[in-house]
Amino acid sequence: MVKIVIQQPNRIIKCMDVYKAPYKTVLIQLYEDALLKYDDSNLRKSILNNFDNQPENLIGKFEELGLDSELVKPSYIFDTGDLEKRIVKNIKGNPEVTYHEDNYKHFLNIKRTVKKLVEDLSYDNR
């Protein structure tokens, strides 16, 4: 049973969906099961040989199988909240140091640029 899984990527994809886990996480769990539960050296070798051979077009494969493809779609999350808080804290803590203000202006510029790029990517991948 476990041997069949590595030879049929659709089963791995279904495991990804059920456990909401990335491809390699599923393979690692299979490897651990092959080692600890089944003592199957052939399966371990097969997993190691295929570890970096992720199926192409995972989004398409999820959709073909009628699964929720959100797990494998890029999220385009761009979170800079912590960095921004640290810069503002330094500005307030050291008002006499002018380069913190310059850093903050530069940061806001970069943030706007990246936000625009992310929006463009999100729109292009619909």
d(CA 41, CA 92): 60
Q: Is the pTM of this model over 0.85?
A: no
Same domain, 62 and 98: no
Residue 76 lies in a domain: no
What does the alpha-carbon distance between residue 97 and residue 94 come to, in Å, rounded to a whole number? Answer: 6
Residue 63 sits in the same domain as residue 97: no
Distance between CA atoms of 25 and 31, rounded to whole angstroms? Answer: 10
pLDDT at 87: 93
User: Domain boundary at 32, 52, 71, which?
Assistant: 71
pLDDT confidence of residue 119: 82
Q: Indicate the residue type of 19.
A: Y
- Residues of the chain whose pLDDT is less than 50? 1-4
Q: What is the pLDDT of residue 66?
A: 94
C-alpha to C-alpha distance for 52 and 37, rounded to whole angstroms:
23
- Model pLDDT, residue 121: 78
> What span, in angstroms and rounded, lies between the C-alpha atoms of 40 and 50?
16
Which domain covers residue 106, as residue numbers? 81-124
